[in-house]
Amino acid sequence: MSLLYLGTVRVAPDGTLLPPPGGAATIGFAWRGRPCRAALTPGRLQLSALAGRIPSTAEPGADRARAFAALRALRRAWRPSLAPDHTVRVQREVALPDPPTAVSLVTAMVGFVLALDPYLEGLGAPGSGTAKTWPG
């Protein structure tokens, strides 16, 4: 039986996902230069992304007003968290069918980033220092 891999998740020829032993798997991906994660657990998918960064007052010329306006808009639809380094992280959990398939996984990932996309520009504006790596 030939298998395809998405990160540590094996995909069977019929498209069914076969998580590694222990039942949890994480797949890293990027959207518009922002690191994202999809953590697969039985029946659920936890999606998260570093949406951007609020510039520090110590950064000359930073457009903090634009970044805070983007954060306010983001808070109406999401529950962002702000880290001590000023990075803004968002997450959403979705249900997956049983058994999960590669199509359901990719559909959820694409839906997540497309829903998040309208909020990214203000957090990624010049001078906002968009995060390039996932912390920790």
Dump pLDDT digits (tens) for 80-102. 998 888 889 999 999 999 889 99
Q: Residue 79 maps to which CATH number?
A: 3.30.1460
- pLDDT value at 13 more than 50: yes
Looking at the domain assignment, is residue 56 inside a domain?
Answer: yes
The pLDDT > 90 percentage for the chain reads: 26
Looking at the domain assignment, is residue 11 inside a domain?
Answer: no
Looking at the domain assignment, is residue 86 inside a domain?
Answer: yes
Number of structural domains found in the chain: 1
Looking at the domain assignment, is residue 136 inside a domain?
Answer: no
Dump pLDDT digits (tens) for 22-56. 767 889 999 988 899 999 888 889 999 998 888 87
Looking at the domain assignment, is residue 8 inside a domain?
Answer: no
Spatial separation of the C-alpha atoms in residues 71 and 78, rounded to whole Å: 10
Looking at the domain assignment, is residue 38 inside a domain?
Answer: yes
Expressed as residue numbers, the domain containing 41 is: 25-123
Whole-model pTM: value is: 0.80
- At residue 101, the 3 state secondary structure works out as strand
